[in-house]
Amino acid sequence: MNGLATIDYIVFFVYFVIVASYGYWVYNRKKKESMNTHDFFLAEGSLTWWAIGASLIASNISAEQFIGMSGEGFFVGMAVAAYEWIAAVALIIIAIWFIPIYLKNKIYTMPQFLKTRYNETVALIMAVFWLFLYIFVNFTSILYLGSVAINELLGGGYLHIVMIVLMAMALIITLGGMKVIGYTDVIQVAVLVIGGFATIYLALQIVDTRVNGAAVGNAITGFKTLMGQAPEHFHMILPKPTITSSTIDMPENLSIQKYVVLPGIAMYFAGQWIVNLNYWGCNQYITQRALGADLLTARTGILFAGFMKLLMPIIVMLPGIAAYVLYKNGQLPGFEGGKDGAYSAILAFLPAGLKGLAVAALTAAIVASLAGKANSISTIFTLDVYKKYIKKDADEKKMVWTGRLTVLISMIIAIIFTWEDVLGIGGEGGFTFIQKYTGFISPGVFAMFILGFFWKRTTGTAALVGLILGFVLAIFFNNYAVDIFGKETLLYTAYEYQKMEGGVVKTITEIPFLINMGWSFFITVAVMVLISLGGPRVNPKAFEIDASMFKLKPVTIAMIVATLLILTMLYVRFW
């Protein structure tokens, strides 16, 4: 890596000044009034549909996408785009059926939903679960992956400085509350999209010049070159390996590794839907962007985010495939083929100035996600732990300052665990790390929410059992099922492969984690249903639902149809 030129630093500095100035202006406007908890945590009623949609994308697209998903694009190819494109359908489902229930019942946090629908025990356990997940999985992985990428672009040697700077920028934005986060996210998304598209456009030109020997690179020709030289990277559905065991020097070894991460058509029967519906519909970090708005504004913002998700693989996945083709042709000197280094390897080719814009886009994504995650952590702790169990008589001012202190403490904890990569994020692969460990609680959480929404008989006891059982089952399938039941059963097929870690060849036997997630969910739902059948026919805490809540405006229907048509064409073309 050659580092950044002076013009790159200027471009980046301009980005930072614009975001900081705009955030300060938004904060100052609100400061003239007395900031209460709804302003700080939800920005109630003040976010427009485009601000909600932009904030959803800015908070979602971060280092795990730019670095992690680009890395999976390098390793697996287009199949990883399923996480983005199925998300577009999940957002449609959430806009139509989930959000009306939240808004009708004045739900502001996910633990509040669980308390309202079930009981305080379920809410408290889940609040603790979420706090641990957000701090030790999401917060740390975003910070680590982003810092590693930017450090490489700077030429190395600045990892810890980058960590501190990223957290400082996120802290400045977060302390202004949700309204500052929401509106600065609009700028972050603009930088993210412009920088992202500029990066892939230049990357495709580089592929044309480096691989085809063209004097002047052509992006369309570069894309055709990708499809010609890496056809296996342009399939959404990976074929099931014909063998279940392979050593590192066999060609089947690589196909097994890919299938374990993205298990073909099987992942669409459960895993992908659980991942996306849980993430977008039952996740404080995401849903709170829409919980302060009216129904039409919230729906439009969510659907706008869904439409933007269709574009995201171009920005975050395609650079990885470009890196693969360049690497295959010996055009990435110094790059050793590590997944999470693919995006940085592409950025190194960019000219001065544009590289600064690309770094600004990457930083925008990282900072927006860190700020959003920090706000969610402070929201859950302040409203669902501090106010309920520590200081019940806390006034508005005390709660806002408690939220700010929580932000600071959570950031310090994340830096401590990221400083020397204590959690092993680098070895696992960033994107896989997040999906895998989030998947430990996703089945139980989603089972609780989906039954709580739409089956009035679901009881608090069933929810408590489901929460714990889903977690236990996920660990069981991931760590113990193969040893007890063997590699081949009616429920799953386990695969054995070898991979190089730290210069040592390791033999790994595992069931694809998306399959684990699916069976954990189905078994949890079945047990929850059986337990609930022993309770009253209608739980007194069940939500009132009527058909009028789910009626759609013509503009909403038009957005849904447009999204589904585009998605259908993409799957038909790249099946």
Q: Which residues contact 13 (CB under 8 A, 6 or more apart)?
A: none
Question: What does the DSSP 8-state code read for residue 488?
Answer: B
> C-alpha angle 95/99/101, rounded to 5°?
135
- Tokens encoding 535: 């309770």
27-41 pLDDT, tens digit per residue, is 676 555 555 555 555
pLDDT of residue 46: 57
- Tokens encoding 348: 């190194």
pLDDT of residue 141: 82
Per the CB < 8 A criterion, the answer to whether 415 and 423 are in contact is no
Residue of 188, 186, 178, 381 whose CA lies nearest to 289 = 178
pLDDT band for 314, please (50, 70, 90 cuts).
confident
pLDDT of residue 285: 65
78-131 pLDDT, tens digit per residue, is 998 998 999 999 999 999 999 998 888 888 778 888 889 999 898 888 888 888
Q: Span 259-286, mean pLDDT?
A: 86
If DSSP states are collapsed to H, E and C, what string results for 383-395?
HHHHHHHHCCCCC
If DSSP states are collapsed to H, E and C, what string results for 175-234?
CCCHHHHHHHHHHHHHHHHHHHHHHHHHHHHHHHHHHHCCCCCCHHHHHHHHHHHCHHHC
Q: Span 297-304, mean pLDDT?
A: 92
Helices and strands per DSSP (H, E), number in the chain: 29, 2
pLDDT band for 249, please (50, 70, 90 cuts).
confident
pLDDT of residue 556: 92
Region of poorest pLDDT, from 3-12, 43-52, 363-372: 43-52
Q: Span 510-514, mean pLDDT?
A: 89
SS3 508: strand
Q: How many residues can be counted in the chain?
A: 575
Q: Span 461-489, mean pLDDT?
A: 92
Q: Which residues contact 371 (CB under 8 A, 6 or more apart)?
A: 59, 170, 173, 174, 181, 184
Higher per-residue pLDDT: 556 or 20? 556
Give the span between the Cα atoms of 120 and 518, in whole angstroms. Answer: 27
What percent of the chain clears pLDDT 90, i.e. is strictly above it? 25
pLDDT of residue 426: 63
Residue of 507, 471, 501 whose CA lies nearest to 487 = 507
DSSP 61-121: SSHIIIIIIHHHHHHT-GGGGHHHHHHHHHHHHIIIIIHHHHHHTT--SHHHHHHHHT-HH
Task: List beta partners, residue 493.
Answer: 488
Give the span between the Cα atoms of 146 and 258, in whole angstroms. Answer: 24
Residue of 204, 200, 190 whose CA lies nearest to 361 = 190
Residue of 193, 182, 231, 235 whose CA lies nearest to 30 = 182
Higher per-residue pLDDT: 23 or 441? 441
Q: What is the mean pLDDT of the chain?
A: 83
In which residue are the tokens 């909403």 written? 556
Higher per-residue pLDDT: 361 or 419? 419
pLDDT band for 360, please (50, 70, 90 cuts).
confident
Give the span between the Cα atoms of 318 and 343, in whole angstroms. Answer: 10
pLDDT of residue 371: 80
Residue of 516, 34, 483, 567 whose CA lies nearest to 260 = 516
Region of poorest pLDDT, from 124-138, 430-444, 467-481: 430-444
In single-letter form, the type of residue at position 367 comes to V
Give the span between the Cα atoms of 271 and 513, in whole angstroms. Answer: 8
- Tokens encoding 192: 């993210």
- Tokens encoding 97: 């059926």
Query: Is the per-residue pLDDT at 476 higher than 90?
Result: yes
pLDDT of residue 179: 58
pLDDT of residue 43: 47
pLDDT of residue 430: 58
Exposed/middle/buried for residue 388 (C-beta within 10 Å: 0-12, 13-18, 19+): middle
- Which ranges of 420-459 would DSSP assign to H, the alpha helix? 425-428, 430-438, 442-454
pTM given for the model: 0.83
Region of poorest pLDDT, from 25-29, 274-278, 473-477: 25-29
Longest dimension (CA), the chain: 75
Sign of CA dihedral 463, 469, 475, 478: negative
Give the span between the Cα atoms of 119 and 463, in whole angstroms. Answer: 9
530-544 pLDDT, tens digit per residue, is 999 998 998 898 888
Most confident of 286-295, 319-328, 370-379: 319-328
CA distances from residue 500 to 253, 257, 320 in whole angstroms, order as listed: 12, 12, 20
Count CB neighbours of 133 within 10 A.
21
Residue of 465, 475, 415 whose CA lies nearest to 444 = 465
Query: Is the per-residue pLDDT at 224 higher than 80?
Result: yes
Count CB neighbours of 437 within 10 A.
21
Per the CB < 8 A criterion, the answer to whether 75 and 258 are in contact is yes
pLDDT band for 1, please (50, 70, 90 cuts).
very low
At how many degrees (to 10) do helices 442-454 and 120-133 cross? 140
Query: Is the per-residue pLDDT at 494 higher than 70?
Result: yes
Residue of 141, 165, 173 whose CA lies nearest to 68 = 141
Give the span between the Cα atoms of 37 and 52, in whole angstroms. Answer: 19
CA distances from residue 221 to 70, 228, 415 in whole angstroms, order as listed: 21, 10, 43
All domains in the chain, ordered by first residue: 6-24+45-574 (1.20.1730.10)
Exposed/middle/buried for residue 62 (C-beta within 10 Å: 0-12, 13-18, 19+): buried
